[in-house]
Structure 1
Amino acid sequence: MQAKIAAGLSALALTILVACDNKPPANHSAAASAPQQASQFDAEGKAVVYQVFTRLFGNTQTTNKPWGTLEENGVGKFSDFTDDALQGIKALGTTHIWYTGVPHHAVIRDYTAYGISNDDPDVVKGRAGSPYAVKDYYSVNPDLADDPAKRLEEFQALIARTHQHGMKVLIDIVPNHVARRYESLAKPEGVRDFGADDDTSVEYARDNNFYYIPGSAFQVPAWPADYQVLGGDAHPLADGKFAEVPAKWTGNGARSVQPAFDDWYETVKINFGVRPDGSYDFDKLPADYAEKDWQAHYQFWQGKEVPNTWIKFRDIVLYWTAMGVDGFRYDMAEMVPVEFWSYLNSHIKQQNPDAFLLAEVYQPHLYRDYIKLGLMDYLYDKVEFYDSLKLVMQGKGPTSELVIIQQRMADIEHHMLHFLENHDEQRIAAPEFAGDARKGMPAMVVSTLISTSPTMLYFGQDVGEPGADDAGFGKASRTTIFDYWGVPHHQRWMNGGKFDGGALSPAERELRQFYETLMQFSRNAPALNGAYLELHTHNLAAGSAYSEQQLAFARYVERQQLVVVSHFNPQQGVEFTLQLPASLISAWQLADGTYQLQDQLSGQQNQLQVSNGLGQIPVQLAPLGSVVYQLVR
């Protein structure tokens, strides 16, 4: 992930963005923050996104040979998302399933019988290929189909099944780059492939889809001493050569004819009308459009000439939206100019106003640009909240930092999606992260309940998958996205296709139950779309046993009042009296007296004592324990 971010930042000379006032709100530790207006699609409760790596989810084979073939290691299919599987996903409170790796990307498997050209392993990462090197945006990965000739029909059936279970469908769109050999077999009549009409004699032209290095041929990267293509297995195309004349810029913006191994060498950079010097070759979006709705953005672009690439991606997303896809996760959105996102997202909203648009952006000073000008519904809260919470889980950081971040994001907190795992991040249970899946329990309570934003779960997180093995190109601590592989802890939940958790260990079953309880509560608790008040600063100053190893806050609306307390010490429990300030007691309109509380995680009872307008709750937490007390009226 750090290499990915660094590579992205190196290319930002191409994405000089519209500046706007990004000053954070003042830090008022005792003030309750009102929520952002909830979007129409999650007005009935907090959204929960379940990210599944589609290729791995249904695979029951356990061989797990490094660099193994599909036949050796197996592969999951669209058809593995049975009614039982979808019910199991829905049990986690899921509202949206992000099916990762659906668009047809480069793979090292012979599908020439279906008219698909072979991909060259010299420019493919792993044997199963990176899902972010898309080869055909109008089709789906043939690996995922029982009958590759009917792969699109099988995905359409999966969309229908997902909708029947009351969940919506997200897929990836990767505008910044495509596979080095993009070749669409399934494109509609009149659609031209990326690069098909480019003037390759020049480095840049506004309506070229790629950037070129005229007069030079592409060269395969120089491999590190410890790397062999396909793990050293023979392959007729693994010859250290790939025909690309003239050479194109690489996906992360590298302009060398021979990209480095650490570059995104399997992809080529897409041109959005940003000249090589970083200047724009299209109309800039006026700054006041940060305060305008998507309808105004849509009207702004009508009648304006835009780069050809913009039109191509507009046609792609509207193709999938018309098919029933409910939204998109955008890869490395910050590497594409914000005007393009205004154009693209307003066109999507014109077709589906409830579309769920999630983007990967890693520079906090750009967050407001991409939300307000780029019309993103949600961004990853990675660099701020996740990174700080990871340090807390590792015992390396104070919980106070989370309070500061939440206040700094108060004006956009609804748009900052929270997560503890995804395909780019280390698994919680990996020794390189926390080494124990239980350390994710208090963190998940905090991450899920502290804001109105959606929460994202990664498949296998709920059963403590550690991502323990080197799979070939994919290395330990992250579940591989490049290889054919079985995911052991997740396979025990699958239980041979029953999807009932029957093969889980008692500890894994307990963890799964925790996630189900928490996520179902988060989905249905009205207070989580209400106000927030941090209790941390007040209790640190109270002089009790409360410390930087705990985090406490309140969430409330008129019909539900919650107090959340989490404890991050994995060895020792803690006891203290939690103080509720007068501002909260007043907001809840509580007179002096005793009030009943019920923990929404365990069902246990407790009491809130109000005296002289101040509240006190006796709290006792086991190691890594949390409580979510609801006031019983």
Structure 2
Amino acid sequence: MLQSCQLVDDKAQAQTSQVIDVVTARQSKPVVYQMFTRLYGNKQTANIAWGTRDQNGVGKFDDIDTHALNSIKQLGVTHVWYTGVLHHDVIADYTEFGISLDDPDVVKGRAGSPYAIKDYYNVNPDLAINPANRLAEFETLIARTHQHGMKVVIDIVPNHVARNYQSVSKPDGISDFGEHDDTSVEYAKHNNFYYVVGEQFKVPKSLDGYQPLGGEPHPLADGQFAEFPAKWTGNGSRLAQPHFHDWYETVKVNYGVRPDGSYDFPRLPAELAEQDVRMHAEFWAKQQGLPDSWYKFRDIAYYWLDKGVDGFRYDMAEMVPVEFWSFLNSAIKMKNPDAFILAEVYNPKLYRPYIQLGKMDYLYDKVGFYDTLKGLMQGKQTSQALFDVFEDVADIESHMLHFLENHDEQRIASPEFAGNAQSGKPAMVVSALIGQAPTMVYFGQEVGEAGAETAGFGQPSRTSIFDYIGVPAHQRFMNHGAFDGGQSTESERQLLAFYRTLLPLSAQDVFASGVYLLINDMLDTPAKASLDTIVAFTRFTEQAVALVVSNFSTSQGAAVTLNEENYLATIWQLPDGVYSLRDQLTPVSASQYLLTIEQGRASLDLTLEPLQSVVLTLARTPIFSAQHNNNKAQ
């Protein structure tokens, strides 16, 4: 058995802290594909700023057909996160379907923010061929996704809802958020919202000449929105007139946190951090009179689990108390033990409480890993800084989801990030292979989408989530619904091939459950400074060994020598001999790599082009044994 914490030589003992062996049994490694559902199947390319549905087009559930799902599956995807599915505020008129009009003064963009949920018990009518049948169309997509061997994840936005929340689809016995609130007080335990007592809500003063819908006339775009008394805004503003940069389109949900920050619910005993979800569920079952909002979100989660949804991504989870997450996640896991739970948490001090007490499966590794990896890509950080932040979460590494793009972050190919999608390749190799955490990709990332369109609300560099828009690189791949790359450029096709090779590779046992060890300090180059742009590590199990080396320099190649004594051969448990290494990123390696173990000393020579990575794997049987070499010498 490989025992990473029982290495016997002195160097091994000194570097034990660098070895992360976080699993004792084989486990899967999810690959999550975040699809912005409204944009994914859109075939129209007009891309008019503030364009309407008819002008700029909108994708439908039905566009995500067998061809689309097959193409996603080829990326090694295990979970599809359908973003923007729930019914949120939109400007389009759906009154004939019993849906009230939404006010542009409290809607961001023409298509609306997917994080201003208006009805938790139905889906966005924009996404349906027949809006009256929209829920059934989504249920069909859930079944279709399952038929392709992938699971379905949707958002739950626990911290806030749209200012005009009104469910037209809620089941019998379910009340709307705020329906039974006592609006004469700022706070009450069972109120769903907080109130600015006695004051009327006022639309924020616009900045930089902003006008709803780009200034297009609309019967409700009058600078007014009727809300009395005013509610606290989603990001916590307690003003009746929030700032323009506040989340003014939303209102904050009350979980029993008093305005002074004290809690109106039982705290979790510290020992529950070591207990499983069953013990958490039993703890909460004994509690009486929990805040009403807790039960409302539990009912929402149950509703979607019953529809076949396999898990949830929680928006801004850190703004909601950890006790609620213990309550909700244990309830979810008791209903579906395999449910996938991912949370957006940016405060590193909350990582361990939200994993251990809140029972989150995975958190964004944004503030540490993503931010440092982005800095390395931009020449502002070093490889050592990346290793440092990775070590900071060593004990919870398998829970920290890695990504390079999502709907909140700049596209790699945008000038504000790297300016070239190819610059993302070494970062993607490191992100996907360095640890046991899931990997996430954002739709269009795999073909180098740049997010350069001016859609309306907000600025380019991120593909707009607020407006109707086309996504050019993705649309070229989509090829009028064939999803075969028929209009893609050669560069886009090569990038897609890279992703289709890398992401399935990340699920191999050696990367899903292998031991990790940094080997940068075992390398040498003609120019020592170039190691700042080299990331090198090994992953290994009893059955396999892999070496990953990535060159982040956009202009400089690197000659790299691995030359160390009596350490790697010991922990890899390799006898003396010569081993053939295969680069898993190329179908047929252009270069032959040979690893020599001689008297316990490991040596290997590599030459990397700018932005090149190699993922070298070897069998544990040498092509030449030490005895063979000795015989030749005689």
Cross-structure match for 1:169: 152
Verify: 1:561 aligned to 2:545, yes or no.
yes
Give the superposition deviation at 1:524.
Answer: 3.1
- Answer yes or no: is the 8 Å Cα contact 2:196–2:232 preserved in 1: yes
Cross-structure match for 1:320: 304
Map residues 123-138 of structure 1 onto 2, 5 A cutoff. 123-138=106-121
Cross-structure match for 2:314: 330
Secondary structure, in 3 states, of the residue corresponding to 1:412? helix
| Aligned partner of 1:242 among 225, 229, 233 | 225
Amino acid at match of 2:488: L
| Aligned partner of 2:22 among 27, 30, 35 | 35
- Answer yes or no: is the 8 Å Cα contact 2:159–2:253 preserved in 1: yes
- Decide whether aligned partners of structure 1 residues 308 and 589 sit closer, same or farther in structure 2, where only a CA change above 3 A counts: same
Deviation per residue, 1:91-146 (Å, 9 max, x gap): 11100000000110000010000000000000000000000000000000000000
- Answer yes or no: is the 8 Å Cα contact 2:78–2:150 preserved in 1: yes
Cross-structure match for 1:499: 483
Aligned equivalents of 2:306 and 2:271: distance in 1? 31
Secondary structure, in 3 states, of the residue corresponding to 1:388? helix
Aligned equivalents of 2:510 and 2:148: distance in 1? 22
Aligned equivalents of 2:527 and 2:226: distance in 1? 69
Cross-structure match for 2:599: 612
Give the superposition deviation at 1:584.
Answer: 2.3
| Aligned partner of 1:458 among 417, 442, 459 | 442
Secondary structure, in 3 states, of the residue corresponding to 1:362? coil
Map residues 227-238 of structure 1 onto 2, 5 A cutoff. 227-238=210-221
Secondary structure, in 3 states, of the residue corresponding to 1:411? helix
Give the superposition deviation at 1:525.
Answer: 4.1
Aligned equivalents of 2:202 and 2:443: distance in 1? 37
Verify: 1:102 aligned to 2:85, yes or no.
yes
- Which of these two proteins has the greater Rg computed from alpha carbons? 2
- Decide whether aligned partners of structure 1 residues 63 and 541 sit closer, same or farther in structure 2, where only a CA change above 3 A counts: closer
Map residues 147-166 of structure 1 onto 2, 5 A cutoff. 147-166=130-149
Aligned equivalents of 1:226 and 1:534: distance in 2? 51
Cross-structure match for 1:520: 504
- Answer yes or no: is the 8 Å Cα contact 1:332–1:360 preserved in 2: yes
- Answer yes or no: is the 8 Å Cα contact 2:234–2:251 preserved in 1: yes
Aligned equivalents of 2:486 and 2:54: distance in 1? 26
Give the superposition deviation at 1:441.
Answer: 0.2
Aligned equivalents of 2:579 and 2:450: distance in 1? 42
- Decide whether aligned partners of structure 1 residues 580 and 133 sit closer, same or farther in structure 2, where only a CA change above 3 A counts: farther
Cross-structure match for 2:259: 276
Question: Could you tell me the percent identity over the aligned residues?
Answer: 60
Aligned equivalents of 1:572 and 1:582: distance in 2? 31
Verify: 1:291 aligned to 2:274, yes or no.
yes
- Answer yes or no: is the 8 Å Cα contact 1:471–1:485 preserved in 2: yes
Cross-structure match for 1:589: 573
Give me the CA root mean square deviation.
Answer: 1.5
Aligned equivalents of 2:151 and 2:73: distance in 1? 11
Give the superposition deviation at 1:593.
Answer: 1.9
Give the superposition deviation at 1:35.
Answer: 2.1
| Aligned partner of 2:352 among 368, 378, 400 | 368
- Answer yes or no: is the 8 Å Cα contact 2:422–2:495 preserved in 1: yes
Aligned equivalents of 1:575 and 1:477: distance in 2? 35
More contact order relative to length (CA 8 Å, sep ≥ 6): 1
- Answer yes or no: is the 8 Å Cα contact 2:84–2:155 preserved in 1: yes
Amino acid at match of 2:455: A
- Decide whether aligned partners of structure 1 residues 37 and 299 sit closer, same or farther in structure 2, where only a CA change above 3 A counts: farther
Verify: 1:51 aligned to 2:51, yes or no.
no
Cross-structure match for 1:339: 323
- Answer yes or no: is the 8 Å Cα contact 1:45–1:526 preserved in 2: no
Amino acid at match of 1:73: N
Verify: 1:537 aligned to 2:537, yes or no.
no
Aligned equivalents of 1:581 and 1:464: distance in 2? 42
Q: Which blocks of at least 5 consecutive residues in structure 2 are unaligned?
A: 1-12, 622-634
Cross-structure match for 1:484: 468
- Decide whether aligned partners of structure 1 residues 581 and 79 sit closer, same or farther in structure 2, where only a CA change above 3 A counts: farther
Q: Which blocks of at least 5 consecutive residues in structure 1 are unaligned?
A: 1-25
Deviation per residue, 1:49-107 (Å, 9 max, x gap): 00000000000000000000001100000001110100000111100000000110000
Give the superposition deviation at 1:33.
Answer: 1.4
Amino acid at match of 1:106: D
- Answer yes or no: is the 8 Å Cα contact 1:36–1:413 preserved in 2: no
Count, aligned residues: 604
Verify: 1:468 aligned to 2:452, yes or no.
yes
Q: Please identify, of 77-86 and 398-407, the stretch whose mean Cα deviation from structure 2 is larger.
A: 398-407
- Decide whether aligned partners of structure 1 residues 37 and 558 sit closer, same or farther in structure 2, where only a CA change above 3 A counts: closer
Cross-structure match for 1:13: none
TM superposition score normalised by structure 1:
0.94
- Answer yes or no: is the 8 Å Cα contact 1:429–1:436 preserved in 2: yes
